[in-house]
Chain A
């Protein structure tokens, strides 16, 4: 919540203390920072908080000024309280973040707008939502809200294990469950999920990045020897990412991971060989 002041502003305080319109010219751009300039600092550009991503008004006559480059802006999404409405609303603006215009954060912000607008009205002072969001943002929103991913179903035959012997895990469910196609917001987008597994054997042992679904004894690839008897909970986490393509030729990857989880309560027993005389 701290406001880090720009030196140029401080040393020209008298000018800054004039009414806020026009103070944007006082901004020093701090390259490389994240979240370095509050978008609403652009109020002096004539565009004000009504700005939306990629609609950039020239803010200086220096062609190399990064503030003139649309690629350095992303959508600023806020929830605010609207005293007139008596409730929350979505405030959309734009923010200057160097090099972030095509970043994951930019897509995330657009997708967030879609989600929020399902539950909240647009604030009266907000910029309009862009009439056409990017295909990547739509794909991300669909990925978060519409794609129903199957959970893993772990199983270890015959339902219990023996100390010192390897337990063979079989992961039911689908690792590559096919594709989802949506018609949304002017795009036809196909999303293809991909997954890997993580296994928590319940005794402090883990396995990561598995692409096999394992199998039964003796050929299953996911196996683990328990060293002590007891009741263990085996947890399989299926980590999902996706690729997408739109009929307009755009395509991309969704790195934001989703997760589905399956568990198995697994008793392990100790057996002793007994010779009878």
Chain B
């Protein structure tokens, strides 16, 4: 699977509410890691204060779910229910479709780009850029090397992730234990930071 695709910034969870007065109140954002970290971060709820430690805990769980999905895909040599449910549970539309397509192309070519024993992708939350009641947007270092035969370059690992609130109807099997799904996973072609990612 070619590691780089081009998509659009379309974060369903980060929807444009404009001046909607019914909008959920924004959570407070702490952009830098706290001086002390707690050992247990409850990822299944949205805290009053969304900080790096919390977002990191969320993406760690989602990375593991994706790793499980890829292991199911590689093990079955074709997309099966175990793969589908997990990917569907962690990606919002239309990002889900792009991810499904990428894996689907690899599956159509006998897993040509996937490692025989894939591990979990590894994501580091570098900085939180924006938080609203239903959107978290962060600069990340995201590494799919543990699942790809040819690991991406360091340049390709730098990018952004946009989280939207989880839609439970997309996860009937409860594969995703967090309160969030990934609505965007990518980087800008110019390297510039996106403006107003959670409008």
Instruction: Give A contacts to B, CB under 8 Å.
Output: 1-7, 9-11, 13-14, 16-18, 20, 23, 26-28, 30, 33-41, 43, 76-81, 83, 86-88, 90-91, 112, 116, 120
A9 CA to B190 CA in the complex, in Å?
Answer: 11
CB closest chain-A residue, reference B148: A1
CB closest chain-A residue, reference B81: A81
**Could you tell me if A6 and B6 are in contact, using CB atoms closer than 8 angstroms?**
yes
Contacts of A5 in B (CB 8 A): 6-9, 160, 184, 186-189, 194
Shortest Cβ distance from residue B156 to the other chain A in the assembled complex, whole angstroms: 6
**Could you tell me if B79 and A9 are in contact, using CB atoms closer than 8 angstroms?**
no
**Could you tell me if A81 and B194 are in contact, using CB atoms closer than 8 angstroms?**
no
A1-B144, A3-B7, A40-B101 are known contacts; what are 18 more A-B pairs with Cβ within 8 Å? A2-B156, A2-B157, A4-B189, A5-B184, A6-B6, A6-B7, A13-B9, A16-B9, A16-B10, A17-B9, A20-B93, A35-B4, A37-B5, A41-B6, A78-B104, A81-B81, A88-B79, A112-B108
**Could you tell me if B100 and A80 are in contact, using CB atoms closer than 8 angstroms?**
yes
**Could you tell me if B78 and A41 are in contact, using CB atoms closer than 8 angstroms?**
no
CB closest chain-A residue, reference B1: A1
Contacts of B3 in A (CB 8 A): 1-2
Contacts of B81 in A (CB 8 A): 81, 83, 86
**Could you tell me if B6 and A78 are in contact, using CB atoms closer than 8 angstroms?**
no
* With known contacts A3-B185, A13-B194, A36–B6 Cβ distance under 8 A: yes
**Could you tell me if B7 and A7 are in contact, using CB atoms closer than 8 angstroms?**
no
**Could you tell me if A81 and B156 are in contact, using CB atoms closer than 8 angstroms?**
no
Shortest Cβ distance from residue B119 to the other chain A in the assembled complex, whole angstroms: 14
Contact of B2 (CB < 8 Å), options: A16, A35, A80: A35
Most B-side CB within 10 Å, residue of A39, A40, A81, A87:
A81
**Could you tell me if A23 and B105 are in contact, using CB atoms closer than 8 angstroms?**
no
A94 CA to B169 CA in the complex, in Å?
Answer: 30
**Could you tell me if A88 and B189 are in contact, using CB atoms closer than 8 angstroms?**
no
Among B11-19, B32-40, B42-50, B52-60, which stretch is in contact with chain A?
Answer: B11-19
